[in-house]
Amino acid sequence: MTKLPTIAAPRFHIAPEDGLGRAESFARTMATRRTVRDFSSDPIDPRIITEAIRAAATAPSGANVQPWRFVVVTDPEVKSRIRVAAEEEEREFYSRRASDEWLQALAPLGTDDQKPFLEDAPALIVVFEVHKGETEPRPYYVKESVGIAVGFLLATLHQAGLATLTHTPSPMRFLAELCGRPANERPFVLIPVGYPAADAEVPDITRKPLPEVLVQR
Chain positions contacting ligand IYR, by CB under 6 A? 90, 93, 106, 111, 167-170
Cβ closer to ligand IYR: 33 or 159? 33
Nearest CA among 117, 139, 137 for reference residue 129: 139
CA 52, CA 40: separation in Å to the nearest integer? 20
Residues 6+ apart with CB under 8 A from 207: 31
| Least Å from the CB of residue 94 to ligand IYR | 7
Q: Which is nearer to ligand IYR, 83 or 139 (CB)?
A: 83
When the beta carbons of 58 and 114 are compared against ligand IYR, the nearer one is 114
Peptide bond into 171 cis (omega under 30): yes
Rounded least distance, CB 114 to ligand IYR, Å: 9
CB of 106 to ligand IYR, least distance (A): 5
DSSP state, 195? P
Instruction: State which residue, 63 or 106, has the beta carbon closest to ligand IYR.
Output: 106
d(CA 156, CA 152) in angstroms, rounded, equals 6
Q: Which amino acid is at 99?
A: S
**Smallest gap from residue 111 Cβ to ligand IYR (A):** 4
Question: Which of 87/136 has CB closer to ligand IYR?
Answer: 87
Contact (Cβ atoms closer than 8 angstroms) between residue 123 and residue 195: no
Query: How many whole angstroms separate alpha carbon 99 and alpha carbon 105?
Result: 10
Q: Whole-number minimum distance, CB 167 to ligand IYR, in Å?
A: 5
Q: For ligand IYR, which residue has the nearest CB?
A: 111
